[in-house]
Amino acid sequence: MKIRKFETQEALNEAAADLISGLVLRNPAAVLGLATGSTPVGIYASLVRRYEAGLVRFKQTTTFNLDEYVGLPAGHPESYRSYMQNHLFKHVDLVPEQTFLPDGNAADLEAECRRYDELLAGAGRINLQLLGIGHNGHIGFNEPDHALLSGTHIVELKPSTREANARFFQSLDEVPTHALTMGIGSILKAESILLVVRGADKAEIVHRALTGPITTDCPASLLQTHADLHVYVDSEAGRLLD
């Protein structure tokens, strides 16, 4: 595990964008695993700037997002598809047919999970998986539980997760109760993982995830088992890490 602490958000964003664009420059047909939420916003902005400056191209790149809410109408501004459109996809030359998210409006959600796993398997290995972490240690929407699932599945969001995400909606009632998420097995299969953590409110959970027991009570703790884990933290989130 390689942990890097950054004094500014800009330095963190640039280092994360270096890792991602460096991979795409070396391997234009790379498969990227992407995340949503507030953590990656500045990283995507940096990738867009690099693209606009002609420093990187994504035409051959494939992306798989970790998760999507169930039941938000297509085009809803808070769907993760909309988020990805607004922060990255519409600004760069990624081919739409090569940008994958689970479809939270599929008529048969179980079949949609199987379809997503087949797409993942067909793409080979994710070369780099970008991750944030929830306050309860979730990655993707793999919430703490007595067992974790390997493949894509439907998850009921914990009240704490819905409350944390309510900031993006008009009210807590509007936050979907369920989501589709890639499983822990798919995440851990990635060749490299970049976990990004910002803010004092994440200091305890990232410390617990990286130094505490490996337990399904803290899904991110399973990242300790990964052979090529990069952790980028700001100084506040990294306060408890050496």
List interacting residues with ligand F6R (CB under 6 A).
35-39, 66-67, 132-134, 138-141
Contacts of residue 85, defined as CB under 8 A and 6 or more positions apart, other chains included, come to none
Q: Minimum Å distance from CB 37 to ligand F6R?
A: 3
Q: Which is nearer to ligand F6R, 57 or 135 (CB)?
A: 135
Q: Which is nearer to ligand F6R, 57 or 178 (CB)?
A: 178
Q: Which is nearer to ligand F6R, 132 or 183 (CB)?
A: 132
3-state secondary structure of 100: strand
Catalytic residue list contains 143: yes
**Active-site hit among 136, 191, 204, 236:** 136
The Cβ-side half-sphere exposure at 141, using a 13 Å CA radius, reads 29
Catalytic residue list contains 105: no
Query: Distance between CA atoms of 38 and 217, rounded to whole angstroms?
Result: 23
Q: Minimum Å distance from CB 201 to ligand F6R?
A: 9
Query: Distance between CA atoms of 17 and 1, rounded to whole angstroms?
Result: 19
Q: Which is nearer to ligand F6R, 2 or 167 (CB)?
A: 167
**Active-site hit among 87, 117, 138, 230:** 138
For residue 142, the 8-state DSSP code is: B
Q: Minimum Å distance from CB 55 to ligand F6R?
A: 25
Query: Distance between CA atoms of 61 and 99, rounded to whole angstroms?
Result: 9
User: Of 77, 79, 76, 78, nearest to 68 (Cα)?
Assistant: 79
* Residues designated catalytic: 67, 136, 138, 143
